[in-house]
Every structure is written in structure tokens, then in C-alpha cells.
Amino acid sequence: MEALVIGRPNSGKSLFMVNFVAYLGLKELRLEALDEDGMARRQRIPFDQARRQLVSHVAHKTTNLQSIQVDIVTGRSHRILTLTDSVGLTDEIHQASHIRRSMALTLQQLSQKPLVLHMMDASAGGLPWMNALSLVDDEVARYAGGTCPYVILANKMDCETAKHGLDRIRERFRGYPVIPISALTRRGFRDVKGYILRHWG
């Protein structure tokens, strides 16, 4: 099954993916990156290196779609999850053409109705001076929430401001499932795995 991690820049998509596949039991990252030309490139990276290489505080560290295949063994059956990390979607039109190209690819992935893990930054949502929840979040929820298996992951729950942010997210996206997680401390990963398994299809 295909799962797509989607969200705004710097909401923690890449760190979530790296830590989540580690949680699912992968020993090293077998990354299949789809670069801007739509060409697939395979590489293997050990986890500690992957965190350094793929994750950053600067927005738009991830510039292309990269997916990982994970085997999930449950009972007798043996299933393969393809987890895809995407480029952060912004409200504004981005000035760099390769980012725009990757955004288009992300939307294209989204239109193929995968399981959608919608990443939101709960810690920023708690700060009053920053409107961290944006139009693009609303639109992703409206688009994906109606058609695909869809769940909101309220990330960065290890931050102090996140509690308030989670309430805000719950309020704004009433009716959609919300799982509070922390990609850093791996909180809530069990619920995410359970959700993915329940909506396997």
C-alpha cells in the first residue's frame, strides 16, 4: 500500500519518515528518490547519517519525493508499505522552479488516492503570533479527507506550546482523525501504525 506524508515545510515530515521506518523495524534506509525529472534514484543510507542528511531546520530541505518500502509482518500475511515523503506545500507560489516542480509531483501523488498522513506543526499552532495553520492545510484536509484514508498527525508534541496547538488543530479540523505525535521522541507511532493497518486496502 502507498502512504503519502504531506504537509507544510518544516512540519517534520522527513524526520517522521526516518524515525517511523526505524520504528517499523528497518535496519537501514533504502531510499528511492524521485528527482525533479521524475527519474527514480536508489540509495542506501544508515539511519544516523540519514537524520543528518535528510532533516534540517531550514525549510524545504526535502526537494524531491522520496519513498521507502517497508515490510510489515502481521500474523501470517506479509505486506509492503510504501511510505513517501513529499515536498512541503506552501500557500504562496514558490520562487524556485524545482520546488514548484516537486510540489506538482506531490499533488500528482495525492491525486492517486494513497493513504494520506497529513503532518501539522502543533507547536507553531500554539503560538498566537503565527498563523501556522494555513489555507493549504485546509485544502489538503478537504481534498484528501473526502476521498482517501486520511489522518492528521499533530507533530512536535514534545514542545511546550504544542498542547495548545493540538487543541487548535482539533477545533479547526473537527471531524477528521487527529493523532498527536512527536517525530523526535517517537510518541504516538504505535497509533499511527495501528491506523495504517486498519485502513489497509
Q: Provide the mask over 33-72, with x wherever binding to another protein is found by CB under 8 A and - wherever it is not.
A: ----------------------------------------
- Is 77 an interacting residue with respect to another protein (CB under 8 A)? yes
Task: Assign 97 to helix, strand or coil.
Answer: helix
Of the residues 59, 71, 138, 185, which one makes contact with another protein according to CB under 8 A:
138
The piece of 16-24, 115-123, 143-151, 158-166 that touches another protein (CB under 8 A) is: 143-151
Q: Give the separation between CA 9 and CA 119, rounded to whole angstroms.
A: 10
Q: Give the separation between CA 129 and CA 149, rounded to whole angstroms.
A: 32
The sign of the CA dihedral 108, 65, 85, 102 is negative
Q: Which is nearer to another protein, 25 or 200 (CB)?
A: 200
Element of type H or E holding 147: helix 135-147
Q: Give the separation between CA 50 and CA 135, rounded to whole angstroms.
A: 31
Residues 6+ apart with CB under 8 A from 159: 122, 123, 126
The piece of 16-24, 123-131, 139-147, 159-167 that touches another protein (CB under 8 A) is: 139-147
Q: Provide the mask over 157-186, with x wherever binding to another protein is found by CB under 8 A and - wherever it is not.
A: ------------------------------
- Chain position carrying cell 540519514: 50
Chain residues in the site for another protein (CB under 8 A)? 74-77, 89-95, 97, 100-101, 103-108, 110-111, 134-136, 138-140, 142-143, 146-147, 194, 197-198, 200-201
